[in-house]
Chain A
Amino acid sequence: MVQLAIPKWKRMPLPEDIFASGESDASCVADIPQRIVVQRRFPQRLRMEKSLGNSFNIFVSQASKNNMTMTVKRSFEVQQAYYHYTVHKPCFAENIHIEAEAGSKAFIVIEYDQDDSVFTNHHQWIQINGRKGCDLHLMVIQKLSPKSRYFSQQVAYVEEGGNVKITTLSLGAALTALSVEEHLLGRRANGDMKLGYLLVGDQRSDYCNSMFHKAPQTTSNILAKGVLRDQCKKVYRGNLFFDPGSPQSVGREEEFATLLNPGVVANSLPALICREDDVIGEHAASASQLDQEQLFYIMSRGHSKKRAEQLIILSSFSEMMEDLSEDKRQSINDWISRRLQVERQISDF
């Protein structure tokens, strides 16, 4: 494999061994409806965006052991397709291509889990082609061990009238670099991005959500919500681009960061890049401690302060998980609770 240069990021230094090669594998449990066609290959002609950088692109394309193309057939509707990967080797690189054909509708969940003692460099490239009138929701749940690293590039191209929603729950890993892009190529295409993150201990994360409005009457929403505790560091970039030729488009971006103690570092870089006058672009960001009024209200209902804090934190993620089943939501809540090392039993709320 070609020796790749380690990118020099100003706000989030990267370790020297991020492109180290080694044993690469993960076991997978999947629940895939027949209406999704899965092939163990990846398209030859792949559109590569800048995302995390060329080094990551090259590494994933060379090192990938999990090449997969999922095709949601034209006009078919899929309630839920579910992949659960347990990652147990030092390397795991994968290429995933999702083709949502015209008029199709699907909800695809990909979850990554591993034992807390395992270390993995996880590199991921996901590309989505959302064809005319499709309605696709991809949800990626990352629960890697506190030792691992997660580098993910997710890019979606949305054609006329298509709707692609990408939700990422970034809950584990010592270091996360995540870039999610949506390119709204066709008239009235809609892009939706949600990011929920939990950072505790000395976790570091660099998140980037970018929405490119490239056609008229396109709409988009970006929502990022997260909780930071201990000595963790977060960099969040939310970018809204309105390219020439995107009149009457509307894009919105919001970020809410909850800071739980001194010592956390939270950087936000929301950007609006506008080359078209007839658009509406808005972004908003806020950062604060837990809402004292909410705490007071929950405690007035008989809960301890610890429990009240826990409930508020969990509620930050509920909006991200609304399409998941009740069981799945509960298991994620339990996982978050364990991560927070607070009381586990929360169902009496």
Chain B
Amino acid sequence: MERKKSYIEDVERGIYDIVDQEKHAYIVDKGLTEEIITEISQVKNEPQWMLDFRLKCLKIYKSMPVPMWSADLSELDIENIVHYVKPDAKQSHTWDDVPDYIKNTFERLGIPQAERESLAGVGAQYDSEVIYHSMSEHLARQGVIYMDIDKALIEYEDIIKEYFMTLITPHDHKFAALHGAVWSGGSYVYVPEGVQVDLPLQSYFRLNAKGAGQFEHTLIIVEKGASLHFIEGCSAPKYSVQNLHAGAVELFIREGAKLRYSTIENWSRNMYNLNTKRALVDAHGTIEWISGSFGSKVSMLYPMSILQGAHAKSEFTGVTFASTGQYLDTGMKVIHAAPYTNSTVHAKSISKNGGYAYYRSLLRVLESAHNCKSTVNCESLMLDNFSKSDTLPIIELFNDQVDIGHEAKIGRISDDAIFYMMSRGISEEEAKAMVVRGFVEPISKELPLEYAVELNNLITMELEGTIG
């Protein structure tokens, strides 16, 4: 007897796909040349060393091959991407000063409301520049710095020069080099020693320009004994041409400090999301990654924790949802470089309607990292037979005094669970959504309420459609 199966159609992405009219104050030509890089640097009035660095990165970029070990990037035409788009808006500290069409976009995305209700500071980037930035006064009084990184390059040049792209170097991979060459916008956060930032800070990155790239750089330094929750959101409307996101996130967590870095990524389905994130954790420090990857055509995203101090700790909790036409290659890297370090990875992926979810991770324990512990857990849910789901967690041990555990599971929604819920009067569609929401519950419960709701909305949005 043929077994009946349920399938789910693709959906509209609602508010995320609303396109604003393009109004640019400045836009560079398509492609990647020394002239364009120089032009970007001059428009931003950067110091000479930064221009030199950008040009060096361009050379490295051009010398490196396109990575072949994962997604097919052959359709990504860098020469057809606009690498810098300055919106027709100056940076302001009140939403009233932001042009209406941009403000309305962020209103739809719920950023001002979240700022009023649950955030200690917000940065909003539109295309290549940050157009809104604010932080509560009591944090400023404690010495917390939260500003866009272009501004920090002027006001805190020495610090930026000391830290910028030292954790993610242009030699790491081709798109790290690209980032070094064309970066624009992003956030700089400095939390002084002992300061506990009670409410999260959020930076939201919206890419509106058709065929453009977004290359924001986030640099966060959390000093000894301090703590911070930083939220990163990103989205873009869907176009028929390619967009590219190659941002970089460098996090420095000092002794005994704690940083939670949460991301809800909902790029449009024409986006190549080739982002790089890395955290360096000192003794007794903690990095917590919370990650939700929903959008993009192609994602290659593997946040890395380098535990360089004894008793440093890394936790990763992430969910990836791949649907029609999406190849989401996500995962996590942990380097245990000091004794008594601890890491936990809890990853979930869902694939439906031909989506391809690939979980890829690396756990490396160096010779010096004795008495370390690590637990890696990944689960994959396939919602239909057209989809693909792969899991490849790599473990490299150079030390015997370790306690390493890894588990992975793959499967589909239990028919018994659906049948049970339907017998209780719940529709098949809702029953399936409930199971999926339950599947990602370990992630959503780690997010602030508003973002957990957004995560659930995204899941519901992904699951809407015909079942039968």
Contact = CB atoms under 8 A, between A and B. Distances in A.
Contacts of A274: 380, 382, 388-391, 410
A277 B400 contact: no
A177 interface: no
A146 interface: no
Given A261-B400, A269-B392, A271-B390, A284 B406 contact: yes
A282 B395 CA distance: 17
B339 to A, nearest CB: 12
A337 to B, nearest CB: 21
Contacts of B411: 279-281
Q: Is the interface of A mostly helix, strand, loop or mixed?
A: strand
Contacts of A261: 400
Interface in A123-144: none
Contacts of A268: 394-395, 397, 406
A277 B387 contact: yes
B405 interface: yes
A272 B391 contact: yes
Contact of B404 (A269, A271, A277, A286): A286
Contact of A282 (B370, B392, B398, B409): B409
Interface string B364-400: 0001001000000000101111011111111111111
Interface residues of A, number: 36
Given A277-B385, A287-B395, A272 B400 contact: no
Q: Which of A228, A260, A288 has most chain B Cβ within 10 Å?
A: A288
Interface string B69-95: 000000000000000000000000000
Contacts of B403: 288
A272 B406 CA distance: 13
A218 to B, nearest CB: 15
B421 interface: no
Contacts of A257: 397
Given A274-B390, A274-B410, A277-B383, A289 B401 contact: yes
B389 to A, nearest CB: 5
A260 B400 contact: yes
Contacts of B389: 272, 274
Interface residues of B, number: 35
Contacts of B402: 259, 287-289
A26 interface: no
A102 B450 CA distance: 62
Given A262-B367, A272-B390, A287-B395, A281 B410 contact: yes
A292 B402 CA distance: 13
Nearest to A258: B400
Contact of A272 (B3, B394, B408): B408
B12 interface: no
A21 interface: no
B412 interface: yes
A27 to B, nearest CB: 39
A226 interface: no
A242 B411 CA distance: 11
A283 B380 contact: no
A276 B392 CA distance: 17
B407 interface: yes
B3 A285 contact: no
Nearest to A269: B394
A247 interface: yes
B369 to A, nearest CB: 11
A20 interface: no
Nearest to A282: B409
A273 interface: yes
Contact of A270 (B397, B400, B408, B412): B408
Interface string B1-31: 0010100000000000000000000000000
B402 to A, nearest CB: 6
B401 A267 contact: no
Contacts of B404: 285-288
A24 B400 CA distance: 39
A15 interface: no
Contact of A247 (B3, B370, B383, B410): B3
Nearest to B360: A271
Given A259-B402, A287-B402, A281 B392 contact: no
B406 A276 contact: no
B399 A278 contact: no
Contacts of B395: 266-269, 285, 287
Nearest to A244: B385
A217 to B, nearest CB: 12
B408 A277 contact: no
Contact of A283 (B3, B400, B408): B408
A327 to B, nearest CB: 33
A342 interface: no
A277 B5 CA distance: 10
Contact of B400 (A242, A264, A279): A264
A285 B401 contact: no
Given A266-B397, A277-B387, A283 B412 contact: no
Interface string B278-300: 00000000000000000000000
A265 interface: yes
A179 B389 CA distance: 24
Contacts of B388: 274-275
A270 B406 contact: yes
A262 B400 contact: yes
B407 A282 contact: yes
Nearest to B411: A280
Contacts of B394: 267-269
B405 A286 contact: yes
Contacts of A265: 396-398
A230 B407 CA distance: 27
Contacts of A287: 395, 397, 402, 404
A260 B399 CA distance: 10
Given A270-B408, A277-B412, A281-B410, A262 B391 contact: no
What are the 8 tightest A-B residue pairs by CB atom distance, in nearest-first order?
Answer: A259-B400, A277-B382, A281-B410, A272-B391, A268-B395, A285-B406, A266-B397, A277-B412
29 contacts: A259-B397, A259-B399, A259-B402, A261-B400, A262-B367, A262-B399, A264-B400, A265-B397, A268-B406, A269-B392, A269-B394, A270-B392, A270-B406, A270-B408, A271-B390, A271-B391, A274-B391, A275-B388, A276-B385, A277-B383, A277-B384, A280-B410, A281-B411, A282-B407, A282-B409, A282-B410, A283-B391, A283-B406, A284-B405
Given A244-B385, A274-B388, 10 more contacts: A259-B401, A261-B400, A262-B367, A262-B370, A265-B396, A267-B395, A271-B392, A279-B412, A280-B410, A288-B404
